[in-house]
Amino acid sequence: MFKVLSATKFFIVIMIYFVLLLGITIWSSTADAPIDISSPHALLFLKIVQAISVLVVFIFPACAFVLFFTSEKMNYFQLNKLPSLFFALISCLLIVCSLPFISYLESLNKMMSLPHAFSGIEQWMKSSELKVQQIEEAFIKDRSLMGLYTNIFVIGFMAALSEELFFRGLIQRALVNASKNVHLSVWITAILFSAFHMQFYGFLPRMLLGAILGYLFVWSGSLWTTIIVHFLNNTAVVIISYLLGSGILPPSVEQMGMESDKVTLAWALPSFALTLIGIFLLNRIKRSTILS
C-alpha cells in the first residue's frame, strides 16, 4: 500500500504536513479561550493536554512518515547509535555555558520592532506571544513538588523527545538527504523550529539554539545527543525557576541566564566565548573520529 519515496518527494510530503500544522497553530493563536491558569487542577489539565498533543502532533506522525515512506524505518531517526560519553558531556557543558548569551540575545530580540505599516501584524505577534508566555509562566511558577515533577516530564522530557524527533530527526534529515547541503539543512530546520514556537520576540535565540542542536546531531550521528541536551536545557530552566521561587537560590542567579532582561554583558560575553570554544572542541572531536 505504501512505497518508499525519493529523498525529494519525502521532504515535500513532510513540508506539506508542517505547513498545515503551522497554519493550524497560527489559527489557534487567534482564538480566545479563557482558561483559569491560577487553578492547580486547570494547570494539571493543561500539562496533560500538552503531553498528549506532542504525541499526536509530533511523535506519531514522525514515526508514521518513516515507517511508511522510508527504507530505513525507525533507524531513520538515528536512535540506534549512542554518542560517545565525552562528546555528550562536552555537548551538555556547551548548552549550559551558552544560556547567558542566548538570554542576552533574547533581550536584544525584544527590542526589535516592525515598521508602522505592519503595526497590525506586530500587535498580533505580541498578543500570540503573551498567551504562550502566560501559560509557560503558570507552569514554571507552580511551586509544589508535584508541579516540579510534572514540569520536568512535560517541559523537559516530552518537549525534548518530540521536538528533536520531529525537527532534527525528521525534517533536518529529510532536508539533508534532499539537498545534500548540511549547513543549509541545519539553518532552515532551526528557522522552522523557532517559527513553530510562535514566540517572535524570542525568535533569534531559539533559532540559534536550534542550529546548535542541529550541528550536534550532525557531528554525533545520534539523535540521543540532541534529546539529552534539549532535555538538559529545558529541565535546567524548570529546576532553577523552582529553586529561585522557593528561595533556595538567590535572585542574583537570574543574571546568569534565567531572565533575559537581567543578563548583563559581563555574563553574555564570557558565555559567547565559551560557546565558541565548545563548538570548536566538538567539531574537532567529530573530525578526529572521522579520521581515525
Confidence class for position 35, pLDDT limits 50, 70, 90: low
Confidence class for position 187, pLDDT limits 50, 70, 90: very high
pLDDT tens, residue by residue, 105-162 = 988 888 877 777 767 777 777 777 777 777 777 787 777 888 899 999 999 999 999 9
- Structural domain harbouring 189: 7-71+80-112+122-291
Determine the average pLDDT of the residues in 180-197: 95
Q: Is residue 117 part of a domain?
A: no
Is pLDDT of 257 > 70? no
For the ranges 30-44, 63-77, 275-289, which has the lowest average pLDDT? 30-44
Distance CA(133)–CA(140), nearest Å, equals 10
Is pLDDT of 33 > 70? no
Confidence class for position 30, pLDDT limits 50, 70, 90: low
Contact 248, 235 (CB under 8 A): no
Please give the grid coordinates belonging to residue 275. Answer: 560557546
% of the chain residues with pLDDT over 90? 51
Is pLDDT of 92 > 60? yes
Higher pLDDT, 129 or 187: 187
Q: Is residue 2 part of a domain?
A: no
Q: Is residue 93 part of a domain?
A: yes
Distance CA(273)–CA(94), nearest Å, equals 11
Is pLDDT of 40 > 50? yes
Determine the average pLDDT of the residues in 241-251: 79
Determine the average pLDDT of the residues in 55-67: 95
Determine the average pLDDT of the residues in 277-285: 89
How many separate domains does the chain show?
Answer: 1
Is pLDDT of 291 > 50? no
Please give the grid coordinates belonging to residue 81. Answer: 547509535
pLDDT tens, residue by residue, 149-162 = 999 999 999 999 99
Q: Is residue 1 part of a domain?
A: no
Determine the average pLDDT of the residues in 229-256: 81
Confidence class for position 263, pLDDT limits 50, 70, 90: confident
Does pTM top 0.85 for this prediction? yes
Confidence class for position 31, pLDDT limits 50, 70, 90: low
Distance CA(205)–CA(107), nearest Å, equals 9
pLDDT at 78: 94
